[in-house]
Amino acid sequence: MDQATTGLPSSSVKSERPKILTKEMLIPFALVATLFPLWGFANDVTNPLVRAFKDIFLISNAQSSMVQFAFYLGYGIMAIPAALFIRRFSYKSGILLGLALYAFGALLFIPASAFMEFSYFLAALCILTCGLALLETTANPYILSMGDPETATRRLNFAQAFNPLGSLTGMFVASTFILNQLQVEEFRAAERAANPDYANQLPSVVDGKLTQALVDFSVSNPAAHQAMQAADLVTVRGPYIVIAIIVIALFLVFLFSKLPNTISHDKPLTFKETGSTFVRLLTNKRYVEGIVAQAFYVGAQIMCWTFIIHYAMTNLGMTAGEAQGYNMIAMVTFLVSRFVCTFLLGYVRPGQLLMFLAIGGIATTAGAIFLSGFAGLFSLIAISACMSLMFPTIYGIALKDLGDDASLGSAGLVMAIVGGALMPPLQGSMIDAGPIIGSIPSVKTSFLLPMLSFVVISVYGFRAHIVHRV
C-alpha cells in the first residue's frame, strides 16, 4: 500500500522504534533501579573480608573463602521460594521482604563481632543474601516487564549500569573504613619495617613470613592478639550497621510508594501450574543453557574480584589497602565498559557481543596467569572490561519471550549465582595447594578456574548467536 492509497504522510506509516521506557514507567523504574546499587555494595564490601578474616582469625585461604560460600549460598536457598512468593503476591511484596532480610542480616554483624565467632559472620552473610536473592529475583524481571519486550534487554542493561556505582562505593568503604583501619595490617607493616631484608625477597615469600609472625604473636601474647582481633571485628561491622540503616529507610520509601503490578496472574499459581511452568522452563534449551552460563559467570566474577587482593599482595608485595585500590580500578573499568557495551547492543546482537566478551575474558585471564609483575595485574584488571555486560546479557537472552514464566525463570538465573559460593573455595584450595605450572605462583595459576568459566560463557554466546538467533 503506497502513500497515495493511504492518504497519510510517509512519516505516519514508518514504524517507530519502541521506547525503552514510557513516561508512566519512569518513576517506578527509577525506584526499582535504586535497588541495583544495593547488592553491588554488599558484594564488594564483602569481597575483601576473605583476606581480612584470613589474617584476623588466622585461617587458610580455603577456610576464609567460606565467606563467599556463605554469601552466595543465600541465593541458592532463597531464589525459588522468592519467585513463588512474588508470583503469589506482587513484585512490591518481594522488594519489601528482600529489604527486611537485607537489613536484618547486616545488623547481625553486631552480635557476631561481640562473640568473635567466624561462623556467626557466615550466618549473618547468608541471611543478608537471602534478602539480596529476593531483591534480584524481583527487580530483574520487574525491569524487563516495564515496557516493550523488544527493548527488555536494553532496559535491564540500563538498570544494571547502576549496579557498579554500589560496587565502587562498597570497594571504597572496604578500603578506607575496613582494610586501612585494621590493626592486623599495622602489625604486618611493623614487621616489614623491623625486617628491611624483606625488600630483597620475593613478595610471596614475605607474605608467608608475615602470616607466620602473626601466628607466633597469637601464641606468645594471646591476650594482646585477642584484643587486636576484637578491635578489628568492630571495624569490620561498622559499614554493615550503616547500610542496614540505609536499607531500612529505603524499605519505608517502597512501603508508601505506589508501584504498578505487571504480573498478569492470568494463570493462578496452583501446584499444577507451578509444575507446568517448571516443565516449560526445563525444556527451553536457551534458558537452561543460560543458567549454566550464569553460574560460571558469577563464579568467574567473584573469583577475579576476591583474589585480586591476594594476587597483588603475594606477587607485588602490596598491602591489603593498596591491593584494594587496584580492585577499585577494575570496577571503574567495569563501569565504563558497561556503558560502552550497552551502547554497542543497539548495533550488535546480544549473543554475538557475549561471545566476543567471553573470548576477551579468556585472553586477559591468560595474561594474568603467564605475565609477570604489573603486566599480569593489569591483565587481571582488564578482565573486568570483558565481564561488564555478561550478567544482564545472559539474563536477557535466557528470559526472552518467557511471559509470566519469567518470575520463576528469573529465580533459576538468580539461583545460578550460587556459582559464586562454589568456585572461590576451589580457587582458595588451589592457592593453598601450591604451584601446578612450573615455578608460577599458585595464586596466579589458580586463575585457570576463571579461564574455564569464560570458555563456557563463550560457547553460550556462540549458541545464542548462531543457534538461538538472539
- pLDDT tens profile 219-262: 999 999 999 999 999 999 999 999 999 999 999 999 998 888 77
Per-residue cell: 329: 580500578
* CA pair distance 320, 317, nearest whole angstrom: 9
Q: Residue 397 above 60 pLDDT?
A: yes
pLDDT tens, position by position, 115-157 = 999 999 999 999 999 999 899 888 888 888 887 777 777 788 7
Q: Residue 403, by phi and psi: left (phi above 0), alpha (psi -120 to 50) or beta?
A: left
Q: How far is CA 113 from CA 32, 120, 300, in A?
A: 32, 8, 30
pLDDT tens, position by position, 329-346 = 998 999 889 888 888 887
| H/E element, 422 | helix 419-433
| Percent of the chain residues topping a pLDDT of 70 | 94
Q: Residue 197 above 80 pLDDT?
A: yes
Average pLDDT for 414-426:
84
Task: Supply the pLDDT for residue 116.
Answer: 95
Per-residue cell: 290: 543460560
* CA pair distance 67, 303, nearest whole angstrom: 12
* CA pair distance 76, 242, nearest whole angstrom: 26
Average pLDDT for 357-364:
96
- Which amino acid is it at 10? S
| H/E element, 335 | helix 320-344
Task: Supply the pLDDT for residue 15.
Answer: 53
Q: Residue 266 above 80 pLDDT?
A: no
Using an 8 Å Cβ cutoff, are 464 and 397 in contact? yes
Q: What's the CA angle centered on 74, arms 305 and 293, to 5 degrees?
A: 55
Using an 8 Å Cβ cutoff, are 146 and 28 in contact? yes
Least confident interval from 14-18, 206-210, 322-326, 429-433: 14-18
Query: If pLDDT is split at 50, 70 and 90, which confidence band does 267 have?
Result: low
Q: Residue 5 above 70 pLDDT?
A: no
Task: Supply the pLDDT for residue 435.
Answer: 82
